[in-house]
Structure 1
C-alpha cells in the first residue's frame, strides 16, 4: 500500500508540474448503465487522497438508472441508509481534459482493490473474473472496437440530424464506406484520436462505416483486461466532448436510425498460458471449439449485458452484420462469435454481439466467463455458419425475457457473482419498466 501511495503521489505531483493551470480533477467511475459518475476534486486535495486519505462516495451511485434515478433493489437505495463506500485512484489514469472550456483533469476511481469492494460495481466484477482466470493460469489479451455516429449538434424536435459535411455544408446522409469521408471529417476525427492518445489510449485503425456519419475506432491489444475496458469507457467520454467542441454530437447509441446499421462493440480475446502459448491454438485448435461452445451456451443468458436497453434490441436483425441467433463462423461477420483468420500465435475470437453503448467492463466479463465455461465443459459447438447458414440458437429479443433468462443461470451466478446478477437484473427490469411509462405519439395515431 505504501508503494502504491508513493507511486500515486508522484503521479499527481508530476501532473501538477506539467499542468499548473489545472485547478480541479474529475474523479470518475462507470455505473451499471455505463455512465460516468464521480466528484470534481481540487487538485491539492487529490494529493491528500494519493497520499492515503480516504476517498468515499455513495455506494448506491453504482445503481443509478439510465436517467440517473434510483430504484429499490432489495435493501439497497431506500432501506440501507445510503452508505458511503471506499474508492481508490486507478494509477496511470490522471490525464488532462482538453475538450472543456476551462483547464481540467480526470482520473478513474474504483472500489476494486479496496478492503470492501462493491460486489456489483462493473470494474470490480471484471477484476474478479480476471483474478480467477489468472489463478487458473489463463491470461487474456483483449482489444475493443467501437462504432459510433456523428450527428449535427442540434436536434430537430428531439430527433438526430445528419452531420454536416464540413467541405460542402451538406448533410452527410449517404451510407458508404468511402475513404473520402475520413478526409472530409478529418478535423474532428483527428482531434478525437489525439485526445484519446493523450488519455493513454492506443488508437489503431479508423474506418468510415456503412451508416451516414458512422465511424469505427479500433484499439490496440492489451494484456491487462481492466485497462482495455478502461480505454473503451474513457474513449466514449472524450469522443462526446471533442465532438461538441467541433459542432457535432457523437453517440454510441445502438440503433439511432432504423434504416441504417446499428453501432456495435466488438471484442477480440486471445487466451495464453504463463509461458505465452496461445491456449486456443493447442491440440489442433480443439480448445478454440470448446471456448466457442461455452460462449454460445451462455450468450442467450447474457443479453441484458450485451443489449442493455430497449434501443439496443432494435439493432439485432434486419441489418448488416447483426445476428439474431447465437452462432459462430470463420471469417463471417454475420456470426455473433467470429474467428478471424490468423496464425496460431494470434488465434482469437471476435465477439460481435454487444451494442456500442453496453458497459465494456461487463461485456468483457461475460465473454470471459463464457470462454472459461467452454474450456472446462469441453463440449463441441454447433456447426459454424460456414457449414450451415441456419445454424444457431435462439436468444431473447426483449428486455424482460432477457432478464428472466439471465437471473437464475447458475454458471453466470457463479462466474459473475450472484449478488451482481441479482442487482443488475433488477436494475435492467426497473429501467425498462420506467422507459415504458410514457405514451408516444404513435399510440395516439393508431389507437385514439
Structure 2
C-alpha cells in the first residue's frame, strides 16, 4: 500500500489548492466541475461538484464515493461479485484529486470543468480500481529500476448522430452531404472532416493531452489520432481515457456520434488501441536495447506467453472479440503491422514494442498494466520468443473461455493482484450472462 506521508500531503494540498484557485481565476464563468474516474468497463463515473466546494477538497477535506461504482457492468448495473455490491452494504471509499487534471470542458452547452479522481495514494486504495491496478504495477517496476515510456494511439469511427432502427449510419460529408461510405485512407477525408477533427485535437490539448497526428483509417468514417510519448505512464493512460470522453463530446457538438466500439461493421476494419512501450533504467538507457536487443526478445516472449490469458482485458466484450476472427496474426515481427506485437524501426534509444492487440474500447489502465506484466515476466525469465507458428498463436475467442484462462494464470494473479483478477473476471462473466438474456432478430428469423 502506498500512503502519502504527512509532509507530502501538506505539499500536495497546497499545490492542489493553487491549481483550483488558478482555474477559478482563469475560468470565472465555470460553476461546476465533473469529478470523474474510470470504472472496470471503461466508463466514467463521478459527481458534478460546485467549484467553490472543490477548494475544500483540494485543501484536504474528505471526498468519498461508493466503492462499488468501480464494479458497474457495461450497462451500468451492479452484479453480485463475491463479498462486494449486495453483500457489503455498498460502503463509501475515499478518493483524491489527481493533480494537473483540472481543465475546462469545451463541448458542453454551459461552462464546465472536469478533474480526475482516484483512490490510488489514499490510506485504503480500492484494489480493483483500474488506475490503482496500473499504479501498483508501475510502483513495482520502479522498485526494480524499470521506468516505462508510453504512447497510445486510438482509432475510432464517426457516425451520423442518429441511429436508424438501432443501427449506426455513415457520417455525411459536410461538403457534399453524401454518406462517407467508402473505405479509404485518403488525406481528402481528413480535409472534409477537418472542422470536427481539428476541434477534437484542440479540445484534447486543452485537457493537457499531447494529441499529434490525425490519420484517415481503412474503414468508412474511421480515423486515428496519436499522442506523444510520456515518461509518466500513469498520465499516458489518463490521456487515453480523457481523450475518449472529449472526442465523443466534440462529435456530438458537430452533429456526429464518435465511437470507440471495436468492431462496428463486420465488413470493415475494427478499431484498435495501439500502445508503444519502451523501458528505461535509472540512467535513461533503453533496457530493451541491451545485449544486441536480447532484452527486447525476452519482453516479446513474455507478452506472447501471457497473451492467450489476457483477452478479457484486450477484448472486454462480445463485440471486441469479433475484431479478431480471421483478422489478427497473433505473432510478432519487425515493421510488421499484421503482427499484434510490432517492433517499429527506430534507433537504439527509441527501441520499443508496439502492442496492437487491444480494441479501442478496452480500459487503457488495464491494457497498459497487462502489457507491462508480460514484459516484466519475459525480462525476469529471459526466455526467447518462439518462432511464429502458421496463423499465429491460438487464443480464446469466446468470453467464458477467455475469463477462465485469465482467472487461473499465476503471473496475472501475482502481477495485477489476485483480488483484482477475481473481481474483474466475475464482472466479465456476469456481463456475458446479462448479454445472453437478449433474444436477437436473427434468433427469431432462424428458429421461430
The one of 361, 367, 391 aligned to 2:371: 367
Q: Per-residue CA shift, 1:339-379, capped at 9, x if unaligned?
A: 11111110000000000000000000000000000000111
Q: Distance in 2 between matches of 1:430 and 1:10?
A: 43
Q: State how 1:9-408 maps to structure 2 within 5 Å.
A: 9-319=17-327, 322-323=328-329, 326-384=330-388, 390=390, 392-408=392-408
Q: Per-residue CA shift, 1:10-36, capped at 9, x if unaligned?
A: 000000000000000000000000000
Tell me by how many angstroms 1:391 deviates.
6.1
Q: TM-score, normalised by structure 1?
A: 0.97
Task: Name 2:421's counterpart in structure 1.
Answer: 421
Tell me by how many angstroms 1:202 deviates.
0.2
Tell me by how many angstroms 1:71 deviates.
0.3
CA contact (8 A) 1:382 1:392 kept: no
- Secondary structure of 2:87 counterpart: coil
- Secondary structure of 1:78 counterpart: helix
CA contact (8 A) 1:382 1:391 kept: no
- Secondary structure of 1:162 counterpart: coil
Q: Distance in 1 between matches of 2:227 and 2:433?
A: 35
Tell me by how many angstroms 1:3 deviates.
0.3
Aligned length: 440
Q: Per-residue CA shift, 1:309-343, capped at 9, x if unaligned?
A: 00000000334xx33xx311111111111111111
- 1:442 has 2:446 as partner: no
Q: For structure 2, which runs of at least 5 residues remain unmatched after alignment?
A: 1-8
CA contact (8 A) 1:182 1:208 kept: yes
Q: Distance in 1 between matches of 2:379 and 2:106?
A: 44
Let me know the Cα RMSD of the aligned residues: 0.7
Q: Per-residue CA shift, 1:33-77, capped at 9, x if unaligned?
A: 000000000000000000000010000000000000000000100
Q: Distance in 2 between matches of 1:331 and 1:264?
A: 17
Tell me by how many angstroms 1:204 deviates.
1.2
Q: TM-score, normalised by structure 2?
A: 0.97
Task: Name 2:3's counterpart in structure 1.
Answer: none
Tell me by how many angstroms 1:392 deviates.
2.8
After the TM superposition, list the runs of 4 or more consecutive aligned residues in structure 1 that deviate by more than 6 angstroms.
Answer: none
Q: Distance in 1 between matches of 2:221 and 2:332?
A: 29
Q: Distance in 1 between matches of 2:317 and 2:262?
A: 9
Tell me by how many angstroms 1:393 deviates.
2.1
- Secondary structure of 1:131 counterpart: helix
Tell me by how many angstroms 1:250 deviates.
0.1
Task: Name 1:3's counterpart in structure 2.
Answer: 11
